[in-house]
A and B are shown apart, each in its own frame.
Chain A
């Protein structure tokens, strides 16, 4: 069945051959309804096993017990059966949307089959491995078959930047902030859609967590599977190299007005009297981001909870260092193995406002949680959670 699915997809997409893959990241173990569970159990019943290293993206249940969700009994049972089925297929229990920070980093140029839009963007762009945007079912089918259809971003000619996204008009000190990159990513995703682009005009080497935030925002606002940053990402040591020395189809000069407009679009409310919760960690927080969070908190108690989503690979270290307990004592809720926009963790609260520093949470929270969204920096989010009111422009 897995090979038939891979072959049928190859036919549809015009691929003339299948290529061997080195690893997979599986987004299919998140419960969206009973059908996905039935599919996974059909694979298990047929005796299928993954043929390559396969990490798992988030599920619908926090198996670490850090957080609780409000899934009704039937859904909880089916979600749990689904997670079990993927274990039985031989996948690693990573349960994170940042597998690349949990020890799964394909080498430069490796052919892989990765799912989850932010993980795909990171894998292609920051690691220089080669994957298409694998959706549910095809990811596990490729992992079992050990092969993927040879088209799209697996092929060198399709990795060429055809659009230049020039941010040289934007203040470098703004670019150097964590807050800028989800905004730029959102703008990039909306403007560039499914094309491959190169960001030029950044005068420093962006660190990993801001590239992660950029990719996540870009991939939720558009169908971005690969982006380049001139001077920073592995296929773009210079802008011209990312363009394969050809002229771009389009050069987008990003203006401060465009950035302000994109920032405005990330929020869906302008209410300023109170917030009901803060959510951070989409993609899952790294240890470095937890360090920043703890520094910003400075041991102060929260008025409204911060839901901090991360992987069990990070929780293990937080527990070892005694930080999990300290953070929870302040009123922070650690969410592992899952996140607040894929399963009902936030209390049901009509009219409630969620503040976030994540372009991806900002994009999905209104439809998936019913909360309106306010976008701010990590420092703004922390200060707002302490006061219970939105605070902006907090120095980080």
Chain B
């Protein structure tokens, strides 16, 4: 694939991780188990997938205002995605990463990428650098 430059929403270390695109909007609260990182929402198409360590592409979030708390807990428990890739900035979710940084915990990089590009990265081993450049690993 051609290297893809993405806007960095929140800085973080460069990572190598598998790309994984959620195919439906998700509510982290009630949708992701904060202890394990497994998608727990029975109505979600990716129910049962564990998001820990993935370059997770999220088309949109829905529902509860507690998504930040779940993401913070995932960071604290070492079960967060390796990178969070959003179609657009989401204050609720990204707050979890802003607070994780304030707490002095290592936080995944957050990038912005149009959701139409998600499918091409899905399942691919990816390398993401600090400047937001995404390429095949």
Contact = CB atoms under 8 A, between A and B. Distances in A.
B103 A27 contact: no
Contacts of B66: 27, 30, 32, 135-136
How many of chain B's residues touch chain A, expressed as a range? 35 or more
A5 B95 contact: yes
Interface stretch (B13-21, B55-63, B123-131): B55-63
A8 B98 contact: yes
B107 to A, nearest CB: 12
Given A1-B102, A9-B95, A223 B60 contact: yes
A281 to B, nearest CB: 17
B91 A32 contact: no
B75 interface: yes
Interface string B75-109: 11100000000000101111110111011000000
Most buried by B among A8, A14, A38, A366: A8
A193 interface: yes
Interface in B24-82: 25, 27, 29-31, 34-35, 40-43, 60-70, 72-73, 75-77
Nearest to A38: B103
A34 B41 CA distance: 22
Interface string A94-125: 00000000000000000000011100100000
A219 B63 contact: yes
Given A135-B67, A223-B61, A13 B91 contact: yes
A222 B95 CA distance: 19
Given A13-B91, A35-B73, A368-B30, A136 B102 contact: no
Interface of B: 9-10, 25, 27, 29-31, 34-35, 40-43, 60-70, 72-73, 75-77, 89, 91-96, 98-100, 102-103
